[in-house]
Structure 1
Amino acid sequence: MSEKLSFVNPTPNSPWGTYLQQVDRVVPYLGELSRWAETLKRPKRALIVDVPIEMDDGTVAHFEGYRVQHNLSRGPGKGGVRFHPDVTLEEVMALSAWMTVKTAAVNLPYGGAKGGIRVDPKQLSSKELEKVTRRYTSEIGIIIGPHTDIPAPDVNTNAQIMAWMMDTYSMNVGGTATGVVTGKPLHLGGSLGRVKATGRGVFVTGREAARRLGLDLRGARIAVQGFGNVGSVAAELFAEAGAKIVAVQDHTGTVVNENGLDLSKLIPISRTVAGAVSFKGGDVVPNEAFWDVACDILIPAALEGQITAERAKKTSAKLVLEGANGPTVPEADDILAERGVLVVPDVICNAGGVTVSYFEWVQDFSSFFWDEDEINVRLDRIMMNALNHIWDTADKHKITLRTATYAVACERILMARQERGLYP
């Protein structure tokens, strides 16, 4: 970290700064556990690594990588690895902290961690991508492991990346360690249901929130920002429930159709290089116009910091489902609350992925695998139980769902910290 950056003095408008504000808001609800609150503001461990590889043209390139373990009081670190040119240490710190809260919110026996490499994977060949992945895994191998810290896919990473990570770690320890990562290919110890788990969790929590609001999903208008694995799966499930997907924004732009976009055609096209804007079944509009689209439900499923104060004032949504991590800045949170817009926060809304990652980890240790129906039943039960407990807490204290989620999760984290004590 630079001299200007410390754990408790973040750079302005950073994801870490957003997280710290969220923690400050929950401290009044922690009672005697508030004496441990500073624990939540300081990552346990932050590792910065150099990732040098030989490129296909013979030159040597260096990339900067990170692995942050925010809190391990409740169990091994758990969190994804993202490959993105804008990855920073503060971003990874925030993501790891949100994983701490997320795993505690759904009561999984994990702590929070996150990793990333500052690289644009689209500029790498498959061979170069494998080299980057394997060298990064070797560099962070000193702190990851099936019982210490378990990476998973995130932005621009997938099952193949996890297979390379698992193989690299296994070669370095001298034995196959399937449990070191989750989100692997099925034939390498992956779990059924993992690919769609995060999007499914968004749908399950959104369906319950809509029911409580008296919002009928049949005919409900939904706008989705980010149309990768999370956004597209959530959109499909809502469409199956009778909703209309009226706007989609991906990295190529924004497409709108007030009568509903045909997902059976849009999703395959969005997977191509041309992206969603090449879809002919809607109107392409400027990206900022996405926030003006008339909708009942807004699903931000892209990157953090997307719902700003100005955008919070513009949206017509009655319900916001945070498929991405940290998509709403604190000022926007306040504006949405004042306007009566219900926000189902990221740390519960998108927890479906880490929940099925937990199932995968358990299955790897037992070498006994469940079918997809059982996975989905278990996932739905955990998500619903967690959301209902959080909702009851929100009603009891007259607070937002986000503050209630943090209250429930932070109480569990700090209770574990208190009961474990300090060593030495």
Structure 2
Amino acid sequence: MPSDSPAPLISLTWTDHVTGTRGFLVVDRLVRGVSSGGLRMRRGCTQAEVAGLARGMTVKEALHFDPHATGVRYVPLGGAKGGIDCDPRDPAAYGVLVRYLRAMRPYVETVWTTGEDLGLSQEVVDRAATEAGLVSTVQAVYPLLDDLGSARRRLADSFALTVNGIGLDSLVGGCGVAESALTALDRSGVAHRDARASVQGFGTMGGATARFLSQAGLRVVAVADVKGTVFNPDGLDVEALLAARDAYGTVDRGALRDGDRELPAEAWLAADVEVLVPAAVSYAVDPVNQAAVKARWVVEAANMPVLPEAEALLAARGITVLPDVVVNSGTNAWWWWTLFGDIGADAEEAFAHTRRSLRALVDGVLERAARDDCTPRAAAHALAADRLPLMQERFGWYGAGASPGPGGHRSRPGPHDGGT
């Protein structure tokens, strides 16, 4: 976002009275009175990190806003993010999550729609939200829906869908990341069968990205998890590895084939590939280790995985970073396409819509980057800066649809149904 962007509308720090754990919420801006952004949990999470992610969500929403589109129901939202400085594997983590959501309940009920992010699954967020007394982690958007009952059924039906054993909600984000990489390959005339990929992180986003890249014909030669890097120059059996991972994305090494090798954790970064996908943690590529990168494209499936100084050094070496605000925006957009009714509860429709949208978005960003002689990240922020004033003019920070209901409070319909 431009340096003259307004300060966040809401920025607060919470301290757990039981453990002393700190949590954060940043609402960067509102559109029609609502913001969108997930909740992450990791040891070392900071307020500054959450603020950067919230600003990124503002950009993601703006990039999916087409002021000239007709018949589109998905309304753009503002950007927000939540974070908790806690190891999600800590036995006390779930209780911390419940108490955090209980403290944030007034914001979730009125201005902040949220859901899974790094360190948290949607199932865990949903369960904790119910214990915290929330109807839904997306209930702030309910007043903007034409038919709340149909919208909630559509979303619930979509979450019930699985494709080859994996939930649709865990696949659409990776579908968008993979399509972003494929768009870059296609624009450069690189055949999919001639391209190799390395993926850091094999959880929801990394695993799905690896699946869709493999299905498109790329050889996924390296996958990294907390135990290290699994490598095979001839290509890994992605589906077998997906079937052998645990809830945290760690692959059971007993499932490795002859020819699969175990390498150190950092080996994924230096793999001789065309496409490098950091899909695990923020700040994974820094000014020092970027020197090991051999890939032609770094595709940011995680949020903020490449530090700005590292990106500048990569660009100087002719390596293009496809930014997170573009390529990993598919999950967030899918929630709203589904809830607002632009797509139905159908996996193929979801994948097709995601592919069309992300391809068009990446094409537009790369064309803007070429026109302005800048990085794709700068081009994405420029496009968002063009669209935000139009959103402001058309919808405003606070919209009539987001005003309190009778008695000064929003209605609270039905049982809990998830986040974004």
Cα deviations across residues 276-295 of structure 1 (Å, max 9, x unaligned)? 37253322222233322211
Report the counterpart of residue 212 of structure 2 in structure 1.
237
1:7: which partner in 2? none
Matched, 1:298 2:276: yes
* Alpha carbons of structure 1 residues 45 and 213: separation in structure 2 relative to 1, 3 Å: same
Structure 1: tracts of 5 or more residues without a match: 1-21, 25-36, 53-59
Distance in structure 2 (CA, Å) of the matches to 1:346 and 1:327 = 8
Tell me, in whole angstroms, the C-alpha distance in 2 between the residues paired with 1:260 and 1:105.
34
Matched ranges for 1:215-364 at <5 A:
215-271=190-246, 275-276=250-251, 278-279=253-254, 280-281=256-257, 282-362=260-340
Structure number with higher relative contact order (C-alpha < 8 Å, ≥ 6 residues apart): 2
Q: Is the 2:298–2:319 Cα contact (8 Å) retained in structure 1? A: yes
Amino acid at match of 1:109: P
**C-alpha separation between the residues in 2 aligned to 1:75 and 1:93?**
19
Corresponding residue for residue 139 of structure 2: 180
Counterparts in 2 of 1:71 and 1:178: CA distance versus 1, 3 Å: closer
Q: Could you say which residue in structure 1 is the equivalent of 2:115?
A: 152
Rounded to whole Å, the distance in 1 between the matches of 2:299 and 2:22 is 32
Q: TM-score, normalization: structure 2?
A: 0.79
SS across alignment from 1:227 = coil
Whether the aligned pair in 2 keeps the contact of 1:246 and 1:256 (CA below 8 Å) is yes
Match of 2:14 in 1: 49
Q: 1:138 — aligned with what? A: 102
C-alpha distance in structure 2 between counterparts of 1:95 and 1:341, whole Å: 24
Q: Does 1:395 align with 2:353?
A: no
Distance 2:388 2:130 in 1: 32
Deviation digits for residues 298-331 of structure 1, max 9, x if unmatched?
A: 0111111111223332211111111011111112
In structure 2, relative to structure 1, the CA distance for the partners of 1:121 and 1:177 (3 Å cut) is: closer
> In 1, are the aligned partners of 2:108 and 2:138 still within 8 Å (CA)?
no
Distance between the aligned counterparts of 2:305 and 2:368, measured in 1?
Answer: 23
**What code does the residue aligned with 2:95 have?**
K
Tell whether 2:126 aligns with 1:163.
yes
Aligned residue for 2:306, secondary structure, equals coil
Alignment of 1:184-195 (within 5 A): 188=156, 191=159, 192=161, 193-195=168-170
Q: Quick one: structure 1 residues 105 and 420, their matched pair in 2 at CA, closer, same or farther if it must change by over 3 Å?
A: closer
Within a 5 Å distance, the mapping from 1:204-223 to structure 2 comes to 204-223=179-198
Give distance in 1, aligned partners of 2:204 and 2:396.
40
Q: Paired residue for 1:374?
A: 349
1:118 equivalent in structure 2: 85
Extract unaligned runs of 5+ from structure 2: 66-74, 142-151, 162-167, 399-420
C-alpha separation between the residues in 2 aligned to 1:318 and 1:291? 12
Per-residue CA deviations over 1:57-114 (Å, capped at 9, x if unaligned) read: xxx5342221110122476211111121221111111111111111112226011111
Q: TM-score, normalising length from structure 1? A: 0.78
Is the alpha carbon distance of 1:260 and 1:369 closer, same or farther for their aligned partners in structure 2, counting shifts above 3 Å?
A: closer
If each structure's helix is expressed as a fraction of its own residues, which one has the higher value?
Answer: 1
Deviation at 1:185, TM superposition (A): 11
Matched residue type, 2:317:
R
Identity %: 28
Alpha-carbon offset, residue 189 of structure 1: 6.6
In structure 1, what is the Cα distance between the partners aligned to 2:337 and 2:275? 30
- Separation in structure 2 between the aligned mates of residue 322 and residue 246 of structure 1, nearest angstrom: 18
Higher mean C-alpha displacement, 245-254 vs 284-293: 284-293
Counterpart for residue 406 of structure 2: none
Q: How much has 1:274 moved relative to structure 2?
A: 9.7
Contact 1:253/1:276, CA 8 A, preserved across alignment: no
1:76 aligns to what?
34
How far did residue 130 of structure 1 move? 4.7
Distance 1:180 1:314, change over 3 A: same
